[in-house]
Structure 1
Amino acid sequence: MKMNIWDAFWGLEVEQCPCDVHLVEWLETEGLSGKRIYHFGTGGHHYVGLRCAEPRLDNTVLGITAAPKEYEAFIALATENPTVTKSYSAYFGDIYTSNAKLLPRFDIVTLFHSCEFRSAANDAYGALTDREVMDLFTQQTDAGGHILFYKGSFAYGAAEPIIAEWASEMPVEELPGFKTLRIFRKTA
């Protein structure tokens, strides 16, 4: 049994990741700085981590990727620009094996790639479901924090009913969206 990885590479073509661009625009529009962000799907461009490291935004980002080439791009980035690691770190792993005991608390969680990567291959090692990931990261989000989803995902149709169920059962309220983003605030 091997980890279910994502063998694609989202490189420097930032326009391929509108969710990442829209997240940063939303942070800027809302004036959100000094926030602790968990980012599902770093992309090889590491746009969110790099932008949030800018003094104007001053957010910390922990990103996860299941794409070996994206993680290699992070290693190269950190090697060439070590100061970025003061506010941005990425790790290689399967979000579906996340464990609350290994995670800090967050102010903002992006679950942009919900339902994109989970398959029967994850079952072989007892991975969480998409709903269980949503629940876990909701628990790791402080009250008043935000949980965001990406309506432009190729798997959004599969994620949408899970999001609806999650929203009806968890202490969250939906806020007005921003461009391609669906935004919830944790209420308790």
Structure 2
Amino acid sequence: MSGGSAGRAPVLNIWDDHWDFRPEDCPCDVDFVAWLDEQGIRDASIYHFGTGGHHHVGIECAKPERQNHVLAITAAPREHEAFVQLAVSRPEVLRFYNAVFGDIYLINEQLLPEFDVVTLFHLCEFRGAANDEYGALTDLDVTRILTRRLRPGGYILFFPGSFAWDRTNDSAKDVVAEWERDGGVELVGRFKSLIVYRKAP
């Protein structure tokens, strides 16, 4: 990651990496598409946190048998560059998939539509002191905002296989536990590597 430093204005905290597609490295994305198919979810609006350079979720959701509408975010410039190349070479995917470059911790609720499904597989992985320098939101803030933008009866999914899920400090598991205590959501259960919650109807 990179961010601001003492003596100069803060800069965006980016993720300077690029995830190519290997199923063993991206079980959350693979399992998410499998979950969509098992649930028979089609023509749904999805918010996806973390694209990977492979853009697997967007590409799979754009296929004729699914045609889900995915808005994704990445803080990795190279992942976004891969999206631009994808959009140019496969415009049929762009009809159903758009990936924006930015910091999810600067998310603006007023710019968001309503969603049927939200993925927060990378909760707590990318936030640090550099985000604080420009007043970024917390992981709990982001989770609450996206829950408000979730339609009643909609789903929100987490990835307990994340390196940030059960760590000693600032764990995603603790954020999810506090978020769950807010009420208005129920635990549906596990699906492969994922944990599934549902917003009250």
Q: Normalized against structure 2, the TM-score is what?
A: 0.92
Per the TM alignment, residue 187 of structure 1 is displaced from its structure 2 partner at its CA by 0.3
Q: What is the root-mean-square deviation of aligned Cα atoms in Å? A: 0.8
Percent identical residues = 53
Larger Rg: 2
**Count, aligned residues:** 188
Per the TM alignment, residue 167 of structure 1 is displaced from its structure 2 partner at its CA by 0.6
Match among 148, 153, 160 for residue 144 of structure 1? 153
Q: 1:180 aligns to what?
A: 193
2:24 is paired with a residue whose SS is helix
- Unaligned ranges ≥5, structure 1: none
Q: 2:7 aligns to what?
A: none
Q: Which runs of 4+ in 1 moved over 4 A?
A: none
- For 1:135-167, what per-residue CA distance to the aligned partner results, in whole angstroms no more than 9, with x for missing partners? 000001000000110011000111101101101
The 2-side partners of 1:126 and 1:174 are apart by 31
1:73-112 equivalences under 5 Å are 73-112=82-121
Structure ranking higher in helix proportion: 1
1:52-131 equivalences under 5 Å are 52-131=61-140
Q: 1:134 aligns to what?
A: 143
- Unaligned ranges ≥5, structure 2: 1-9
Report if the CA contact (8 A) 1:14-1:47 is conserved.
no
Q: 2:172 aligns to what?
A: 159
Task: Report the residue type matching 2:182 in the other structure.
Answer: E
Q: Normalized against structure 1, the TM-score is what?
A: 0.98
The 2-side partners of 1:148 and 1:12 are apart by 20
